[in-house]
Amino acid sequence: MYAVIKTGGKQYRVQAGDLLVVEKLDGEPGSEVAFGEVLMLGEGEAVTVGAPTVDGAVVSGTLLETRKGEKVKIFKKIRRQGYRRTRGHRQTESVVRVTSVAGAGKETKWEGVIDLTPKVILNARARGLGDAAVPATIPSMPVKAETAAPKKKAAPKKAATEAAPEAEA
């Protein structure tokens, strides 16, 4: 069963278990999100189209993280005038795991496990850096022992008795 929902001025075709990146939503990671503007429901050949929305249909999900998206460069130029301006922008976006699609007397649920590990930590682990390379402002998830970086040993200090004969010479 799938649904077409509207959020953030855009439309998305989703089904249970999908990972969805949408405009910023309010809430903490792990909180439940419900999308009430369901424009269409479908299952195989049976399609229910709303006018403008399907009554009683709800798509629910879990908010995984809120992050900044890819950088967009804005470049302005007027030729032969020496005018060039470069700006950048990163839009805030939310990542949502769709857990259920319900409506028209039917419901489809996703039975998987939700992992709240942010993308920054996953990228660091994929590069073999572990959680040591992640900024301190991001809450860290538990790490397995084999992925943690080994601790460095301290260099042995010279004894005071060895330093005294060198000073006299």
pLDDT above 90 for 9: yes
Tell me, yes or no, if the pTM score tops 0.75: no
pLDDT above 90 for 77: yes
Paired with 42 in beta bridges are 2, 47
Closest CA relative to residue 93, chosen from 66, 71, 111, 113:
66
Residue 164 binned pLDDT confidence (cut-offs 50, 70, 90) = low
pLDDT above 80 for 135: no
Instruction: Give me the percent of the chain exceeding a pLDDT of 70.
Output: 78
pLDDT above 70 for 90: yes
Of the candidate ranges 24-28, 95-99, 156-160, the one whose mean pLDDT is the lowest:
156-160
Closest CA relative to residue 116, chosen from 24, 8, 28, 33:
28
pLDDT at 122: 85
The number of angstroms, rounded, from the C-alpha of 55 to the middle of its chain's C-alpha atoms is: 31
Q: What is the mean pLDDT of residues 22-33?
A: 95
Give one word for 121, left, alpha or beta, with left for phi > 0 and alpha for psi -120 to 50.
alpha
Helix (H) or strand (E) holding 20: strand 19-23
- The more confident residue out of 90 and 46 is 90
